[in-house]
Amino acid sequence: MAEIIQRDGSWTFDGDALRLTPGRDKNVSLLRKELGELVVPLGALAGISFEQGKKSGRLRLRLRDGADPLLHATGGRLTEPHDPYQLLVETDRYGVAEYVTDEVRSALLLDQIPADPVTAYLLPGPAVPLSVSAGDGTASFDGERIRLEWNWKTEDAKAAAGARTLALTDITGVEWQPAVGLENGHVRFTVRNAPTKAPPKYDPNAVELWGFKKDPLMALVAAAVQARLPHPAGTAPDMPATRPETPSLPVSPTEDDHDALLRRLRELGELHRTGVLTDDEFALAKQAILKRM
């Protein structure tokens, strides 16, 4: 078990999954607080890094492409304060952060987790129903239908037709973009057989965002919808509407597990002798195996 607790949040690794819990500090973003605790299975990880700074450090997780509907829907546009896969680390906890990093890397190496893309989501999207008001409207999603309602700031041409209800079966894609500089952001739903080049300001299937505090929350609506659409790299199985159950703690290895670990240890020794693994990589992997025996 490896754990780091900070004002920004806590990360706990039990060998099978990383549990990411946002902190209660006033500087923790609204998106991370609303998203809540995430359980990231080891198989969804492509890597982990720890960057040290003079005043603070930062732990970063790198997920395999296609593993998380939130990252897919936002297209890598979540800024650092809103990214749930980053953790600010205070200088007096650098040693703990390095230990967590080593433990996760050891597990990835031991389990031979590939870093290549996946063909199904390995994390569920945000739980539904959910509703977010920001920019020129409100977007609600119950798992089957998206409802868009407009406010007094909506352009007349867009609001004239009234609220819209879109069936999930009619949606082929969803996109979230934050407001940057003088450019407004949006969340846009692509409807089958209804292509449009209209700006979000006039698009009845989009909510325009102006860069205010609640704008990032629209990413949660986008992610919830994305999680229930077919995976872009293949047909994904139905995802649960709630978060996965807490992974159980590792149990004592059986005799077969013990033999498998011994075989793996011999394989690592051979990889080390042939130069595939460096001394440090071999020592790290060997230590991880011995902990499981």
pLDDT band at 257 (very low <50, low <70, confident <90, very high): low
- Helix axis angle, 279-292 to 255-273, nearest 10°: 170
Least trusted range by pLDDT, from 121-135, 147-161, 183-197, 231-245: 231-245
pLDDT band at 166 (very low <50, low <70, confident <90, very high): very high
Percent of the chain clearing pLDDT 90 (strictly above): 75
Residue 128: name the closest of 117, 136, 120, 139 by CA.
139
**pTM recorded for the entire structure:** 0.80
- Helix axis angle, 94-110 to 279-292, nearest 10°: 80
Distance, in Å, from the CA atom of 84 to the CA atom of 22, rounded to the nearest integer, reads 8
Rounded to whole angstroms, what are the CA distances from 116 to 43, 50, 62, 125, 268? Answer: 11, 21, 12, 21, 22
2-110 and 130-227 share one CATH topology? yes
DSSP string, 168-230: GGGEEEEEEE--BTTB-EEEEEEETT------TTT-TTEEEE-S-TTGGGHHHHHHHHHHTSP
Least trusted range by pLDDT, from 77-91, 126-140, 233-247, 272-286: 233-247
pLDDT, average across residues 161-171: 96
Would you state the pLDDT for residue 194?
A: 86
Would you state the pLDDT for residue 244?
A: 42
pLDDT band at 259 (very low <50, low <70, confident <90, very high): low
Burial class (CB in 10 A: 0-12, 13-18, 19+), 281: middle
pLDDT, average across residues 235-252: 43
Token digits of residue 181 = 């500089």
Q: Under CATH, what is the fold of the domain 130-227?
A: PH-domain like (2.30.29)
DSSP-derived pairing of the beta strands 45-51 and 38-41: unpaired
Q: How many CB atoms lie within 10 A of CB 246?
A: 11
**CATH architecture of the domain with residue range 2-110:** Roll (2.30)
Would you state the pLDDT for residue 277?
A: 65
- 55 Cβ neighbours under 8 A, 6+ residues apart: 91
Distance, in Å, from the CA atom of 125 to the CA atom of 117, rounded to the nearest integer, reads 18
Burial class (CB in 10 A: 0-12, 13-18, 19+), 230: exposed
In this predicted model, which residue has the larger pLDDT, 160 or 280? 160
Beta bridge partners of 140: 131, 147
Which helix (H) or strand (E) segment holds residue 159: the answer is helix 156-159
Q: Where are the domains of the chain?
A: 2-110, 130-227, 255-292
Distance, in Å, from the CA atom of 173 to the CA atom of 60, rounded to the nearest integer, reads 28
pLDDT band at 183 (very low <50, low <70, confident <90, very high): very high
Instruction: Tell me if 171 sits within 8 A of 146, measured CB to CB.
Output: yes
Distance, in Å, from the CA atom of 221 to the CA atom of 212, rounded to the nearest integer, reads 16
Q: pLDDT at residue 95 above 70?
A: yes
Q: pLDDT at residue 2 above 70?
A: yes
In eight-state DSSP terms, residue 272 is H
